[in-house]
Structure 1
Amino acid sequence: MSRPNAQSMKPATAAKKLDVYLPATPADFQQNPITREELAALQAEPPQWLQDLRKNGPHPKNLVAAKLGVSIAGLARGGITEALTTEQITALLEEKPDWLVAERESYQNVLREERRLKALRADQSRDD
């Protein structure tokens, strides 16, 4: 097996850059290194399989968490360990299970605290 050169990347890296769930991509994509040029072409003119994955999923955990408004750790605490489709995400948002409501509130509190600390640090750096 030849080693990919510096201008190519593993399929997992390319999938992350494309915000898609690697196991849901075509076998050819999963099994071959992706060049930077190929990645740029996929981003500029996504083929149908990529458009479908982005629209319907399954989506990687980072996107599932973002769409649900929770952290990745919050997904795990809620028992979500697999990639979800857009339909499954929509169903969760409509059902509003207790764990999701609690995790969304917790996540918003964390974000508020991060913004407060960032503003505090900015104020302190201006005063110095």
Structure 2
Amino acid sequence: MTPHRTSQTMKPATAAKKLEVYLKATPAEFQEGTVSRDELDALRSDPPAWLRDLRRNGPHPRSVVAARLGVSISGLARGGVTEALTTQEIEELRAENPEWLQRERATQAEVQKEALRLKEKNATPAKPARPTSRKRP
């Protein structure tokens, strides 16, 4: 006889992070309860209307905003963006293309280029060391 397994639960903040939505924009019942792994899987596979709307229109958490703008979260902070933005606000920023956004995109491109270079370097097998022969006196 196997013991009854309880489902793991998580705080709403963790679930919102996994769903890539801004917690403060979720319904009150989501924010106040706990979310089981099964419930999280159900939200992912068949998202309710509120979740589809949040993903489409926002407000989006900073990680999503950063990804949509092609910058890092730190780059957002340096640019003065500290709060969640809606899809419309993200599009307006893209259209405006302020200097800080251009600079942060260039920085992010350099970081990604360097990461790729290091990945390729580490993927190339190192040449085996050649044994040296020592002459004994």
> What is the Cα deviation at residue 126 of structure 1?
4.9
Matched with 2:104 is 103
> What is the Cα deviation at residue 24 of structure 1?
0.5
The higher radius of gyration belongs to 2
Q: Whole-Å Cα distance in 1 between the matches of residues 127 and 101 of structure 2?
A: 41
Q: Whole-Å Cα distance in 2 between the matches of residues 127 and 90 of structure 1?
A: 49
Q: Whole-Å Cα distance in 1 between the matches of residues 46 and 16 of structure 2?
A: 15
Matched with 2:127 is 127
Gap runs ≥5 in structure 2: 1-5, 129-137
Greater helix content = 1
One-letter identity of the residue aligned with 1:78: G
Q: Whole-Å Cα distance in 2 between the matches of residues 56 and 126 of structure 1?
A: 49
Contact 2:66 2:76 in 1 (8 A): yes
> What is the Cα deviation at residue 6 of structure 1?
6.0
Normalising by structure 1, what TM-score?
A: 0.92
Q: Whole-Å Cα distance in 1 between the matches of residues 54 and 94 of structure 2?
A: 20
Normalising by structure 2, what TM-score?
A: 0.86
Q: Whole-Å Cα distance in 1 between the matches of residues 103 and 117 of structure 2?
A: 21
Structure 1: which 4+ aligned runs deviate by more than 4 Å? none
1:80 is the counterpart of 2:78: no
Matched with 1:35 is 36
1:114 is the counterpart of 2:115: yes
Q: Whole-Å Cα distance in 1 between the matches of residues 127 and 43 of structure 2?
A: 47
Q: Whole-Å Cα distance in 2 between the matches of residues 90 and 126 of structure 1?
A: 46
Matched with 1:22 is 23
